[in-house]
Homo-oligomer: A and B are copies of this chain.
Amino acid sequence: MDKIRTIAVLLFNGVNILDVAGPIQAFKTANRFGRDLYSLSFVSTDGTPREACCGLRLETDHICEDDELDDLIVPGGDGVDAAMGDPDIQHLVKNWIAQRKGRRVISVCSGALILANAGVLNGKSATTHWRRSELVVRKFPDVNWAVNEIYRIDGDIYTSAGVTSGIDLALEIIRRDNGPELALSVARELVVYFKRSGGQNQFAEVLEAQFVNDPAIARLMAAFQQNPGTDWSLESMSDVAGLTPRTLSRRCVEKVGFTPAKTLERFRLKLAKIALENGVDVPRSIEISGFSDFQMMQRAFKRHLGTTVGEYRNKFADVH
């Protein structure tokens, strides 16, 4: 980079302070390892203080329409819903990139909803916090949501997933601007991994398929629950559901989003996750979850969670 990049961090009431702190501390730390690379301003639409959702009160500077700042960081938090209805914020976000070339808009967590609401994500690819994934797909269908991604970059639009993913995205921006060595130094200084393995889905709850609003499918789910280890075939699943195989397949995709076989696999995966999280060992977890063997369980973890059984256990298991 040939000049200091000036970054405006938009603050609003109910902002998640960790969404704010992660990226800005990464950019700030990048300055320690070289000349000044990033300059930060903390702004609001009127320059008065804002209260983060943790209760911390933050002073702000007023951001003007014609501020000569390069990038705009839009964090998330409980206050996002109110911020989506704030015309000044919407105006700012909507016009940021249009006003001047070379600008970037960077969202963290549910901050992506503010961007989506302003229309700047239409036709673009973006991510957000896994908890908001159903909502955004429904509410903003013109956005190509990639909610399993820890971050997503599409042209001038940089979005990151839940909360701490803002650090991952900031590291990637530093890498692109200044090379991998600096990004790695910053990661070490912050004591975070430079690159995390697996997508955001490993942090999300597996789809609560058993609460699906369809009696036939619910019956099948209850049968899975009772006998996850049964060697289920499409025929035996159809029998339990009281549907033809063809109808079961169609309705399962419609209601649950997956074929019957895939739904069973995801159900087993959920049982395995819960077992591992509670400190159950791997052989017993295979038994509890109904996978036929370790290979089947491993494959499901890799396919759906982007991680291995061993890694998942290391990260989430309550073993001391």
Binding site for B on A (CB under 8 A): 16-18, 20-22, 24-25, 27-28, 40-42, 49, 53-59, 129-131, 150, 161-165, 167, 175, 180, 184, 187-197, 200, 203-205, 277-278, 311, 314-318
Question: Would A24 and B56 be within 8 Å (CB), given that A131-B189, A191-B130 are in contact?
Answer: yes
In the assembled complex, the Cα of A163 lies from the Cα of B193 at a distance in Å of 12
* Cα–Cα distance between A187 and B164 once the two chains are bound (Å): 10
In the complex, what residues of B have CB within 8 A of residue A192's CB?
163-164
A172 nearest CB neighbor, chain B only: B320
Contact B180 A164 (CB under 8 A): no
Nearest residue, chain B, Cβ from A192: B164
The distance in angstroms between the C-alpha atoms of A24 and B65, with both chains bound, is: 33
Rounded to whole angstroms, the CA-CA distance of A58 and B49 in the bound complex is 9
B200, A191: Cβ atoms closer than 8 Å: yes
* Inter-chain contact A58/B58, CB cutoff 8 Å: yes
Please report the C-alpha to C-alpha distance between residue A194 and residue B42 in the assembled complex, in whole angstroms.
31
Compute how far the CA of A25 lies from the CA of B109 in the bound complex, rounded to whole angstroms. 14
With A41-B55, A131-B189 already in contact, 13 other A-B pairs whose C-beta atoms are closer than 8 Å: A16-B25, A18-B21, A18-B25, A18-B190, A24-B56, A42-B55, A162-B190, A164-B190, A165-B191, A175-B318, A194-B316, A194-B318, A197-B315
